[in-house]
Chains A and B, each alone.
Chain A
Amino acid sequence: MKIGVITFPGSNGDMDCIHTLEQIGGCEPELIWHKSTDLLAADALVLPGGFAHGDYLRVGAIARFSPVMREVERFAGAGRPVLGICNGFQVLTEAGLLPGALLRNQHILFRCAWVHVRVESTGSPWLAGAQTGQVLKVAVAHGQGNYFADSDSLNGLQSRSQVALRYCDADGVVTADSNHNGSVLSIAGVTNDAGNVLGMMPHPERSSDPLLGSSDGRVMFESVVRSLIGVAS
């Protein structure tokens, strides 16, 4: 399966995604330059972490105007799998492909650490192979990952099972302490209504090798490959 990884100027997680996807059976990752309008026949797209366009104005605010984004919107609109990681999540909310917004961490500082998230919903092709309630150990590294949505939107997100991941402790309990950046309802990742677009602050691509501290993130990439094979056959 071809997985396109989009490089904006200032993206810095693009090569990490390529590297990790190369280790997943059945994946053929490829970089897509932000000025391109050709998605290279990709079967799924990843918007990586970084600081697209220097995060000037507001995180993700300029990236949504990159030429490639019109194609990304069309791709997402057709129900095909799109994953936004960290800055990629921020871009997707700015582009209106995901609800809510990402604010500065409650404690102000950038924070790089290992945290745990609990899978809340497996409706997305990126989480189809995980179990609801499964706890994943994942890396976070961001200064603006404090998820916010107003209460009406939150009610909608919950009733349509769009909350995909929540920060929790190692035992899977959602606690105030484990909500390291102050996100509303401890939300670490959300999907669109259809479930094909997923945005998350943690980095599954950095959490896919036991040597680096965790391989729990692999399930996401393996899930999408499996669901794409399912679609193709």
Chain B
Amino acid sequence: MSAQISPEALREVALSREEYDLAVRLLCREPNTVELGVLGAMWSEHCGYKNSRPLLGMFPSEGTAVLQGPGENAGAVRLGGGLAAVFKVESHNHPSAIEPYQGAATGVGGIVRDIFTMGARPVALLNSLRFGPLDERESRMLLAGVVRGIGDYGNSLGIPTVGGEIGFSPSYRGNPLVNAMCVGVAPADELVRGLAGAPGNVLLLVGADTGRDGIHGATFASVDDPQESHKGVIQVGNPFMEKLLMEACLELLGSPHVVGMQDLGAAGLTSSSVECAGRTGSGVEMDVSQISRRETGMTPYEVMLSESQERMLLVVTPDGADAVRRVFEKWDLHSDVIGVVTDDGLLRVRDGAVTVCELPVHLLTEDVPRYTRVGKPSTALLARRERDITPLVAGVTLPVHEQLLTLLGSPNIGSKRWAWEQYDHTIQTSTTLGPGAADAAVICVRQTGEGLALTMDCNSRHCLLDPYAGGMGAVVEAARNLACVGARPLGLTNCLNFGNPEKPEVYWHLSECIRGMADACTTLGIPVVSGNVSLYNESERQAVYPTPVVGMVGSLPDVTKAVGLGFREGCAVYMLSAGPVPTLAGSEWLAVLSGVDAGLPPLPDLDGEARLHELLRSGINDGWILSAHDVSEGGLAVALAECAIAGDAGLPAALPSEAMSVEHLFGETPGVVIIGVRADQSTTLETRSSQANLACHSLGVAVGRDLTVEGVFTIAVEQLTAAHSRALEAQVTRFDP
């Protein structure tokens, strides 16, 4: 049946021969060129989640706070005062590999549209970035371009970029990860959905004109090796246009004429119209000749698959189009009536009088092939996990205080100030704990005084070595970071960055990470309300480290109660622990000082974590815990140094004798937090921690200008700060942009 179609034509749309045959069988005919393009886009991993959807079913997505779960433009959870937090994370990895500035900028643009499409005003941006080694020129160039792209776009929109993470590892060489998260606030009862509604409703395309940029972006995101061929598909961002679009769309909130909104992202008009129709079980009919173009001679195929940025699809009532268009005119935005909602369940595209595409919506949404594969770790990975790291540890002969300074100055642990100073994080006058100040960013919800706490986390080395523990670790670390500012998690979004899932070892990582994340979410009671899957992150046939980035949103009733990570002079400093013994296996210490990622990282104790987080929240909101910081990469010694640097205060710490080994100072384990307690409340802490069955060690009182671990080292806070602050800047400024 499919003898006619050439392998080239299939490669162009990234469909396999089997998938093509399936489509022909379901359609009872061969698709024409336009239809083939539409099929390829909708059946891509990026739009159709064909490899990941069966696995995503493991995530819990329900809870009392959930207002909108997965399947919409973004998820939403309930806040106080009748408000909702709307949030999602999305990747723009492949475009950023080719053109870091525009790739990252349009990544921000896309995720912001997802949020205001839901009727929410964006109040914060975060990002999670991964690059190859910082001492390589290409990585520095990508870092500089991505950071500038994120900054220029978000700064122009007036949305503060308040947090995130940046990591470096050789596995991201040639395939950086650029994940952007946006959070918005909306009245809970006015959330807008991407719905087509009743037949006869009018489709309005608003914003930028349609050009040839980004054609095949969705399929491009679903093949490996971005460097190879796809330079023509990069979109170019226009934040000014997006700002106007955002203000106009938000001005339309509550309008009785607006039935649905859907932004145009991957696969452009094709996916946005199909998704709207699919959600209400209706059809859509569009005339591409009515669409304003920025180039002449564009074919219907190109118009349907263009990924030109800053465009929105609105579904409006038949009598409301004029009123809606007047709002866009106020903002000098152009809008075209391009079609109507029908009741025949078809995506029908006309070019004037000629029908160029007629496909069942069902075929494009529900009939997407689903693959459940069998995963298996590679033998190389098994060897890495089982490697005895004892000789490596013994091989590190650097004095302990120099080990600490080396770690503080290393790219993964060092200060990211160089990056976040390029992001406007004070606009909207609501950032109470900005970048670098606390374990999670905290912003004030102006209407209610509630604090919104936000974080993004993932330790990809742990995910490589033990994907179940690593996936779980990403969730518990995010939850712990929220607890460290006093917030309770409300919901989670994720961006699953993996290699080619057709490889058994990649699929094993994907499925095990998801299983670990899902178990953590279920035990801690945190619903997954939105997410994004980015597969085929490979270059030169090597997959990136499995990187399931978790974005978490939490809240605390009174924003003024939130605490930072820095020592406060005079506070009694304690170490609270719910975790297993620290280990150097899979640690940052081992990676930095031996150059090896090996061993089995520890598995979080979920029940212990839950008790720890509860204690932190209670102590912070009751005002007797005045600072909190979790122990993560670099272990206890680095955590203490970070508290000293952030608080610009010293600590003479006395550690229990068994905790003075390199394993205890630099080993990593989940569930350990350094807290500063009001001097007169030590007894409260000791009682509460013993009730919660948490190990609690008094370390000393924060005072002076030195960080001392008795019997091990004394380093001036200034020296720690100098090592930490220069980490990124010293490297990046080697590159002349």
Q: Which residues of A are at the interface with B, using a C-beta cutoff of 8 A? A: 9-10, 12-13, 15-16, 19-20, 49-51, 53-56, 108-113, 139, 141, 143, 203, 205-206, 208-209, 211-213
Does B151 lie at the interface of the complex (its beta carbon under 8 Å from any beta carbon of A)? yes
- Select from chain A the residue with minimum beta-carbon distance to B733: A107
Bound CA–CA A80/B429 (angstroms): 27
Alpha-carbon distance A211/B423, docked complex (angstroms)? 20
Say yes or no: A54-B151 contact (C-beta < 8 A), given A10-B156, A206-B429, A211-B560.
no
- The answer on a CB contact under 8 Å between B427 and A141 is yes
B392-430: CB near A (< 8 Å → 1, else 0) gives: 000000000000000000000000000011111111111
B162 to chain A, nearest CB (A): 11
Taking a contact as CB atoms under 8 Å apart, the answer to whether A212 and B244 are in contact is no
A50 contacts B332, C-beta separation under 8 Å: no
Q: Decide yes or no whether B243 CB sits under 8 A from chain A.
A: yes
Residue in chain B with minimal CB distance to A56? B240
- Does B505 count as interface, using CB distance less than 8 angstroms? no
CA distance A12 to B426 in the complex (A): 12
Contact residues in B for A9 (Cβ distance below 8 Å): 240, 243-244, 331-332
Docked CA distance A26–B157 (Å): 31
Interface residue B663 (Cβ < 8 Å from any Cβ of A): no
The answer to the question of B446 belonging to the interface, with a C-beta cut-off of 8 Å to chain A, is: yes
Determine how close the nearest CB of chain A comes to the CB of B398; give it in whole angstroms.
33
CB-CB under 8 A from A212, the residues of chain B are 426, 429-432
Which one, A56, A112, A211, contacts B432 given CB within 8 A? A211
Flag if B240 contacts A110 (CB, 8 Å). Answer: no
Interface residues of B in 362-389 (CB under 8 A from A): none
Residue of A nearest to B417 (CB): A113
| B700: Cβ under 8 A from any A Cβ | no
Among B152, B423, B429, the residue within 8 A (CB) of A209 is B429
A-B interface contact total, Cβ < 8 Å: 82
Which residue on B lies nearest to A141, using beta carbons? B424
* Interface pair A51/B156, CB less than 8 Å apart: yes
Is B665 positioned at the interface, with any CB of A under 8 Å from its CB? no
Report the minimal beta-carbon distance from A24 to chain B, rounded to whole angstroms.
13
Min Cβ gap A48→B in Å is 10
A113, B332: Cα distance in complex, Å: 33
Does B422 contact A110, Cβ atoms closer than 8 Å? Answer: yes
Contacts A110-B155, A112-B423, A212-B431 known; 16 new A-B pairs at CB < 8 A? A9-B243, A16-B427, A50-B156, A51-B156, A54-B240, A55-B240, A56-B240, A108-B737, A110-B422, A110-B424, A112-B426, A208-B429, A211-B559, A212-B426, A212-B429, A213-B426
Q: Which 5 A-B pairs have the closest CB atoms?
A: A12-B158, A54-B240, A141-B424, A139-B426, A16-B429
- Taking a contact as CB atoms under 8 Å apart, the answer to whether B426 and A110 are in contact is no
Residue numbers in B under 8 Å from A56 (CB-CB): 240
Q: Which of B238, B421, B423, B444 has most A Cβ within 10 Å?
A: B421
For residue A19, which residues in chain B have a CB less than 8 angstroms away from its CB? 429, 446
Within the complex, what minimum Cβ distance (angstroms) separates A20 from chain B? 7
- Check B421 against A113 for contact (C-beta < 8 Å): yes
Contact partners of A112 in chain B: CB under 8 A: 155, 420-426
In the complex, chain B residues whose CB is within 8 Å of the CB of A211: 432, 444, 559-560
Report B-chain residues with C-beta under 8 Å of the C-beta of A13: 158, 427
Q: Which residues of A contact B241 (CB under 8 A)?
A: 54
Give min CB distance, A106 to chain B, whole Å.
14
Across the interface, name the chain B residue whose C-beta is closest to A209. Answer: B429
- Give the shortest distance, in Å, between A18 (CB) and chain B (any CB): 10
A59 to chain B, nearest CB (A): 12
Query: Is the pair A50, B431 in contact by a Cβ cutoff of 8 Å?
Result: no
Considering only CB atoms, which chain A residue lies closest to B247 in the complex?
A9
A-B contact pairs, 27 of them (CB 8 A): A9-B240, A10-B243, A10-B244, A13-B427, A19-B429, A19-B446, A50-B156, A50-B158, A51-B239, A51-B243, A55-B240, A109-B148, A109-B421, A110-B151, A110-B155, A110-B422, A110-B424, A111-B422, A112-B420, A112-B423, A113-B421, A141-B155, A203-B426, A205-B429, A206-B426, A209-B429, A213-B426
Shortest CB distance B539–A (Å):
28
Q: Produce 1/0 per residue, B145-181, CB < 8 A to A.
A: 0001001100111100000000000000000000000
CA distance A129 to B332 in the complex (A): 41
State the Cβ distance, A99 to closest chain B Cβ, in Å.
Answer: 27
Contacts of B444 in A (CB 8 A): 211
For chain B residues 424-468, which have a beta carbon within 8 Å of chain A? Answer: 424-432, 444, 446
The answer for the CA separation of A53 and B444 in the assembled complex, in Å, is 29
If A19-B446, A54-B240 touch, whether A109 touches B422 (CB-CB below 8 Å) is yes
Question: Whole-angstrom distance from the CB of B433 to the nearest CB of chain A?
Answer: 10
CB distance from B462 to the nearest CB of A (A): 32
Smallest distance from the beta carbon of B552 to chain A beta carbons, Å? 23
B423 partner residues in chain A, CB cutoff 8 A: 112
Give every chain B residue within 8 A of A108 (Cβ-Cβ): 737
Q: B143 → chain A, closest Cβ, in Å?
A: 13
Q: In the complex, are the beta carbons of A111 and B421 less than 8 A apart?
A: yes
Contact indicator B157/A12 (Cβ below 8 Å): yes
A200 to B285, alpha carbons, bound, how many Å? Answer: 53
Distance in angstroms from A212 CB to nearest chain B CB is 6
Complex CA distance for A208 and B430, rounded to whole angstroms: 11
Residues of B contacting A15 in the complex (Cβ-Cβ under 8 angstroms): 428
Q: How far is the CB of B240 from chain A (nearest CB, A)?
A: 3
Residues of B within 8 A of A213 (CB): 426
Q: How far, in Å, is A60 (CB) from chain B's closest CB? A: 14
CB distance from B416 to the nearest CB of A (A): 13
Most buried by A among B158, B425, B430: B158
CB distance from B420 to the nearest CB of A (A): 8
Q: Could you tell me the distance between the alpha carbons of A206 and B429 in the complex, rounded to whole angstroms?
A: 5
Complex: chain A residue closest to B147, CB-CB: A109
User: Is B426 within 8 A of A141, CB to CB?
Assistant: yes
Closest chain B residue, CB of each to CB of A205: B429
**What is the CB-to-nearest-CB distance from A115 to chain B, in angstroms, rounded to a whole number?**
11
Complex interface: chain A residues within 8 A of B240 (CB): 9-10, 51, 53-56
